Structure 1
């Protein structure tokens, strides 16, 4: 099939883009950045926007900037930008680890970090990273700009706090101190498929104890989220395999999978425990007392 008829705009500044969006928001006007979800949906006529606002010509949205203790990612920065670390330290390594799990190379070369957030698929690796690390998202409309915390941005299945006349301009990820360790684990049917379950564990290590434990889960529920019950078991503790098994069990017991059958619910909870256990084991691998357990 072919897309239905639409009017195409090419703004050269954020100000132009939000002005255009204000004019067409009520007529299903859409922002186009990477287009890896929107364009196929248009080709199948699942989506039929009357107006497309292509923001790829806005130079400021192509930028990655490190400032004020954060990495700022413009709305048109591609997934492929993170194939190698874009900042020194744990954050750069984390992003370059996670990006290898996103779809396939052609999609990574075109799709964007912020576009993935705006799409809000619960299996999205970048949505998981943003919530787990506490990203701040900058939204702009013609009337105002506002910052929204990632945990408040994702409202439900592919639903966000973006108003019809707002665009996501950038995402800011806090830089991670040198003593931060992380683990990332994803289960999918085939490489490049959407995740059935994905977990990110981020911990600070002081001596042999864990602090500032952040544990995120995606692909299981209607949106990504932090697993606060499991985090609480780990905070301030010396990591052991028994402790990690307990955190994984608590995580599995406290999720509400989208599946409707008993078999599906059991399977998703099993996957939850698996990815949480593996991500935590990776994050704790360099802790002396944990490593010595073999």
Structure 2
């Protein structure tokens, strides 16, 4: 065989695949170092970071096809990095027991069946039920449908808390002054205005529990502006300050935070509170969009109570899936 026509050795084949595998591994491993200066690229990567794992089998197939030993070895970096970040979510960490079941649901201002959504949520057996994106038109429907199961409730702006236990200390949480519609792309008939967060104290047999319900500002992916998170980030910072000032050691935050717990924009909250899904869930618990969930932006975060199980409820008339957790003292 002519030397110039011989095939490269296995360690010299697939250099592009090897470089791609190393780049993928570095993105997963060093995602926190990706700057946000240009279009909030870091936050965008972190939002969809769990999906980085889908590139691994594609690269493996390419490496086997090219018979590239170097690419296969390089793939160890993204595999180890991904498993280190998300491997724990692949196991079922849910346990038995618990003292309190909580549910959070962005009910969608465009929901065509708020009565059916309310009945589905009541059937979940939740002791505490948090709703976000309540339109003025749908508010009386939710109040009427949930009245029998939940004798205590409060709606502050577009968020509400329904409870089977007494509520006190109810107040709106100002996540930003003069916030207006928070950038929601809703039709004028269902434009969301007013308060987007509340705080209440729930009287339980084990003592008071501080509960926050929040709907942070929307995020947008724009070809010109990149990943628009400015409003969401300001809301998150204000809410984090409110939680930091909370005197009650037992805290549950329920809501549509328009961000994943990997997103640095929520660091102020995730540094104080723990994800129920991360600690006691089974899988990633993706909640949006309801038809094909790809991210978990609906969160149940806790402090001072122990999540025993966490799960996603079946779809309602909303574009989000409800999320649930059972916590213990």
User: Is the structural similarity TM-score above 0.5?
Assistant: no
Instruction: Tell me which of the two structures has the higher relative contact order, counting C-alpha pairs closer than 8 angstroms and 6 or more residues apart.
Output: 2
| TM class by smaller structure | under 0.3
Higher alpha-carbon Rg: 2
- Normalising by the residue count of structure 1, what TM-score does the alignment of the two structures yield? 0.24
Normalised TM-score (structure 2): 0.22
